[in-house]
Chains A and B, each alone.
Chain A
């Protein structure tokens, strides 16, 4: 009976152990999955933020005609939808899921708006195309005289209004009267040109369509651009980061909680093992069972006569079966006591026990059902033996109530299953460490079969990667009778390795003897990986708060793919602070840390918002500057400028301590360029590192490129820059003057052009030195000199009746124009030479006027007040906007020579030139054509109303002494 008790206890122990085990494993697994989901969500959010930017860019490109199809827009919509769906499908914690839902909703709206945008943009584009194309045909047909002479001018103005309306980012609804007057104007035009009536009627329809569609287009565009998806993404990213950080802390707590659980578990298993071992021993000793039985008061004993009547019942039997004292005797065994499962009487002849016991010396142990006096049924285990008497063969039956045992058995079988099927590996060894038992999980996890491990030592699992001291400590703990817990790296049969978190406990007997060890092991490989991931998710360097290497890799990948798209070239720079180790050694790590923090601050402040500054570790920093130029050459020069600036900034003294001296050092930079096509992230880092090594090798405090070609570009540039400086002091620059003539071929002015002839007689083309002067800022000095020289020339010409009324045009570069001192310098050139400012004309290129239009116009007006005039150079080659041109105090527009050159060959160029002339006419701006080389070109231009010309046909640029040319 004690055995059964033990079994029951064993069951309970297993139950507790198994449930605890299940709980703890489930907890660990849940933490894993959740974290992985968060990591995945974070990745998707980052990808989406990137794609959202690309969608907006694509929409803008389509709006402004930089893309002439919608494939890119459509592809970005698809991409976003796919990622958004993937994000929504993740099982995320509620607050984050809510943000994801809000994002998905905003993205659906945005998608609809982007599709609406496509439709309206196509409609507007079509209307504008038609309107402009017909207008080009209709405008020249309109009469210059008679009652309709004003139509040409009025239609010219209408073109501007319509185009502005179509292009304006916030178009206002034209008033009814404006709309009516436009329609009336077109109606008058149609009446004047009956042959074009259909075309003009359709133009009117398109004007109405533009009026209707423009605000809707602007709305849909605005709704895409300001869809709020990016803000929602940033919000989501922040929420995920916060959740991960919190989870980090939570996981720490959970890990502690898990240890608590494992301790409990261990207690139970301890019990489990003890019972188990006890049960094994009991089973070995069958005889003990019988002895215990006799002593046990719970055993009922009956004697049944040959006629099946009960002749004797002991007290226990009467008690178990619910009879009063002596109440059982006389009852019929197979009617009143031994019954079938349903309570009906059985036949003595059918009774197994009866039959077996009837054999000579026969005995039987059978489970059967006894009926208690109150009619309830009771499962019993009965042992029957027969003995012969004078009254024939009698049976002696001993029996026990096995209700408890049956229940325990059911529980036991359930719970053994739990242990068997537990996801944690369970191993029981004997005291020498030989394996006595393993569960299924062990077989699964280790890939060894039971037969392969039973009787062997668990050390067959060792990978050699666990420090040997750990095993020493483990045995020391176990031998002392205590529980050991820790992590070991094990190896499967197939050679693969896994990390297990193990709890091993000794199993003690009642007398304190240790007989076995039980180990519960959980595979934490994945959990370790997830922990690793989380640690890496901490994107920032703790000392400097700069992004760390991991973030660099992500940003660099993004930069590479952005580079692939835009074709821009960017730079990766590795910065190393010279002699940092020395600082650490002499002033201590505190000073070193302060220094690094200040370096980080300076770098961050020096860079643009969109650039990335990363601390790689130690005193190594990485700068990632995207889009430094369209070509490798430009980017190399840009990178060099930037690098030099950084070296300068880093070499300023640092205050590391209130009391100590300022600390000064230098920095070395290694630079490599990337343009998206080539190179992996790792490669670029390696290249920058090599370049840095070169910089250090060549004396530190300097910058080196990975690619020798880039290095040469930068150096030849530097040489040219030095040569320009020298040439300025040697006065090697001169101005040449090219005549500008009127329709009669009379020179009314000249364009001043800069020439460089070195003392040794060679000439250097402006195409070579102007960009260098522009980049280095020397253009300001050079330009000031040109202004002064031109003014002095004007003064000289004033003295001569033939040249007294000449104007001089001087080119002004963007950098020069934006120089804060520019207006003063112009005023000084005019005043000091005492010339009529009206004779000075400043030629601006379109590149000057595209940035900060309002500031440009203000400055132009200031200069205009001095009396100087403006000409817009190279018109048509850039991004001039009529809307701006109308607001600028421009006297003249110069038709670029590239249009003049092919005027005869290319009908398109001819149409363009014609249209420029017609439009400038309606705006009241002079037009001058440059690059006029043939009489045929002159003929075409003058026929179409051009009155001013410049080009070889009228003379090339000559020094002032040789004026006039020819």
Chain B
């Protein structure tokens, strides 16, 4: 006389909490080792960025889509513009100067060098997979990639330019005009330049990282060491913020929850370190930044918003100390780094 229940296997993870509390919480500190990252629940969203009505994702981390549905003409126009130094005031700095493709969309410098050798305040985030980021810039001041483009273009330390100048210069280029006509049925304009660059940036997705293959069911895609690292990643609590398709990039979090980041770095905080507070003037937002996505993290040193740490293992140790209040032993660090290295995907098709 027992009514049918759904297979309890599904709820095992949830039960661990049910035992101590309400199963409705769904926090799963330890997951069965035999269950590779909840593969059963990871529905690979291959449909580009997913239509707005895509099913709500359930897995902590979703694999990157293998296919994108973007207009090739727009991507091509955007690619040319991205590489075009005429966007800068001096005509020497392009988007790709600070976001080179070969270096996984970041420039390897603590602070990028813009026009006339001027340096920025913060580390340049990678442009790869930025289409999945919910806000752009470390403090999230741009809601969209289209709006982000305005930032570096106008910043006197970056490209030091303006739209009128850029449009004037580029409009004379008949090849670009032809592409613009093909992609947007209109001549080049500041809006079209922004749209095209943003569309190109959305194409900069790095699919098929070993970990993504692992998520799709290929358990041999990552080493046992990396697998242990993934278990640690979840059980230590990294997953609380670094989750979602970009393994971060969808929320704000303060740097230094259970430890003082600046004390550890041996320097006082600067205005740029205030993060979101600079936008909201709310002290509750102090030191809050967009949680960086961890995809290709092994390739995008140096780390943190200030670009102060060159080694990935050191960055992991610092995160554990200031965010989780724990000191990792060397084996744990090694395993976490092995896991993070499994997040390196293929270079985007549109850069080749």
Contacts and interface: CB of A to CB of B under 8 A. Distances in A.
Interface of A: 58, 61, 64-75, 77-79, 81, 112, 115-116, 118-119, 122-123, 125-126, 128-130, 132-133, 135-136, 159-160, 163-164, 166-167, 202, 205, 209, 561, 564-565, 567, 676, 752-754, 766-767, 770-771, 774, 783, 786, 811, 813-814, 845, 847, 873-874, 876-883, 896, 898-899, 906-909, 911-912, 915-916, 919
B6 interface: yes
A881 B24 contact: yes
Contact of B20 (A64, A132, A209): A132
Interface string B18-29: 111111111111
A598 B31 CA distance: 57
B22 A847 contact: no
Interface stretch (B83-91, B156-164, B237-245, B341-349): B237-245
A565 B241 CA distance: 24
Nearest to A133: B29
Contacts of A783: 1
A906 B34 contact: yes
Contact of A68 (B2, B3, B7, B26): B26
A69 B19 contact: no
Contact of A122 (B23, B62, B241, B280): B241
Given A126-B237, A898-B9, A163 B15 contact: no
Interface of B: 1-9, 11-34, 38, 50, 52-62, 132, 134, 143-144, 235-237, 239-241, 243-245, 250-254, 257-258, 280, 284, 288, 324-326
A753 B1 contact: yes
B7 to A, nearest CB: 8
B56 to A, nearest CB: 5
Contacts of A786: 1
B1 A811 contact: yes
Contact of A205 (B12, B237, B245, B258): B258
Kindly name the residue among A112, A130, A874 whose own CB sees the greatest number of chain B CB atoms within 10 A: A130
For the complex of A and B, the 4 pairs showing the least CB-CB separation, nearest first, are A65-B26, A163-B21, A898-B8, A133-B29
A129 B22 contact: no
Given A81-B143, A122-B253, A202-B325, A66 B244 contact: no
Nearest to A917: B19
B22 A876 contact: no
A893 to B, nearest CB: 10
Given A119-B254, A125-B240, 7 more contacts: A68-B28, A75-B50, A119-B253, A122-B251, A753-B1, A766-B1, A907-B33
Given A122-B251, A811-B1, A915-B16, A71 B53 contact: no
7 contacts: A64-B26, A65-B14, A68-B239, A78-B143, A115-B252, A122-B240, A908-B32
Given A75-B52, A78-B143, A118-B252, A135 B20 contact: yes
B122 to A, nearest CB: 20
Contact of B21 (A119, A164, A847): A164
Contacts of B61: 69
B1 A70 contact: no
Nearest to A735: B1
A908 B31 contact: yes
Contacts of A898: 7-9
Nearest to B258: A205
B326 A68 contact: no
**Chain B interface mostly helix, strand, loop or mixed?**
loop
A133 B235 contact: yes
Contacts, number: 233
A223 to B, nearest CB: 13
Contacts of A74: 134, 244, 250-251
Kindly name the residue among A70, A873, A915 whose own CB sees the greatest number of chain B CB atoms within 10 A: A70
A876 B239 CA distance: 24
A123 B244 contact: no
A67 B2 CA distance: 29
Given A74-B134, A786-B1, A912 B16 contact: yes
Contacts of A899: 8, 12, 15
A115 B252 CA distance: 7
Contacts of A73: 250-251
Contacts of B132: 71
B288 A119 contact: yes
Given A69-B250, A79-B52, A132-B29, A879 B24 contact: yes
B16 A911 contact: yes
Nearest to A882: B21
Kindly name the residue among A73, A754, A898, A908 whose own CB sees the greatest number of chain B CB atoms within 10 A: A908
Contact of A878 (B23, B58, B235): B23
Kindly name the residue among B31, B250, B284 whose own CB sees the greatest number of chain A CB atoms within 10 A: B250
A116 to B, nearest CB: 8
Nearest to B12: A908
A115 B26 contact: no
A128 B239 CA distance: 13
Contacts of B17: 65, 132, 163
Contacts of A65: 14, 17, 24-28
A813 B29 contact: no
A140 B54 CA distance: 44
A167 B253 CA distance: 20
B276 to A, nearest CB: 9
Contacts of A753: 1
A70 B243 CA distance: 7
